[in-house]
Chains A and B, each alone.
Chain A
Amino acid sequence: MSGMSPIVKTVTRWVSPFILAFGIYIALTGHLTPGGGFPGGVIIAGCFVLLTLAYGKEKVDGVFSLKSASVTDSLASLSFLCMGLLGYVFGRGFLNNFIQSGFPGKAFELLSGGNMPIINVAIGFKVGGSLFVVFAYLALFRAIEEE
């Protein structure tokens, strides 16, 4: 996979930061506006998929390798579980929204909803990482097949 034409590469270079920022925005403000961790994560994954398609596997490897993607995947899943377990440790129950009951933010602001923005970001990373992993594996598999 050597990548696509220079036009595609240039456009991708300009557009991808915005896509990434949009994905993070969608994930971060899920509790206020439509969106949330899942669509945000898929958009983040889509950004890297676009980069891979435009530039070819080898170029992207340095920025966002397969290994770092699957490490992100595992770590983000673990951090979601840990958020749940923290509630348990604090004696408020598994998956309790303990930050909301401790420090309720002002409604309609970013820092409201307690655990929710944190979990949303964790889910965003998780989904982004795992979907990029599966795409990259499929691409890799094709590359091996074509040899």
Chain B
Amino acid sequence: MLTYLLAFILFAVGLYSVINKRNLIKIIMGIIIMEHAVNAFLILIGYRISGKAPILEKGTSVTEFVNSAMDPLPQALVITSIVISLGVVALMVALAVRLYQHYGTFDITEIRKLRG
């Protein structure tokens, strides 16, 4: 139980950074941390006590494998989500670099040109 809660504290740290920081890089980091936390949570959901990695080895019987392997589906989802977050981070960094070129700062309060 505590383990799930720890993943949520990590999520909250990321959310705090996104909401409360004025530095673009810190906001990007907040999003990265949130994504890490969700990935960790997904893996924790798929965890089975004293389970093994979901990779068959020669000689193991399938029934034994089904009873002892971790849940493979959340792992597949996490790989997908890691790659998606990598793409999003690349785009965010590109935008942040461009904004720095225009304004000479990463401070979000000095970038606000647009209204509401």
Q: Assess A/B contact in the complex (Cβ within 8 A).
A: yes
Partner of B58, one of A33, A108, A137, A145: A108
On whether A38 and B79 interact (CB within 8 A), knowing A134-B90, A138-B97, the answer reads: yes
- Kindly list 18 other residue pairs between chains A and B, CB separation below 8 angstroms, not including A38-B79, A131-B90, A145-B101: A33-B55, A34-B53, A34-B55, A36-B79, A38-B82, A38-B83, A108-B56, A108-B58, A127-B83, A131-B86, A134-B90, A134-B94, A137-B94, A138-B93, A138-B94, A138-B97, A141-B97, A141-B101
Distance in Å: Cβ of A27 to nearest Cβ of chain B: 13
When C-beta atoms are compared, the residue in chain B nearest to A32 turns out to be B55
Number of interface residues of B (CB under 8 A): 13
Interface residues in chain A, defined as those with a beta carbon under 8 Å from any beta carbon in chain B: 33-34, 36, 38, 108, 127, 131, 134, 137-138, 141, 145
Counting residue pairs across A and B whose Cβ atoms lie within 8 Å, the total is 21
A34–B54 Cα distance when bound, in Å, is 9
The interface residues of chain B lying within 8 Å CB-to-CB of A36 are 79
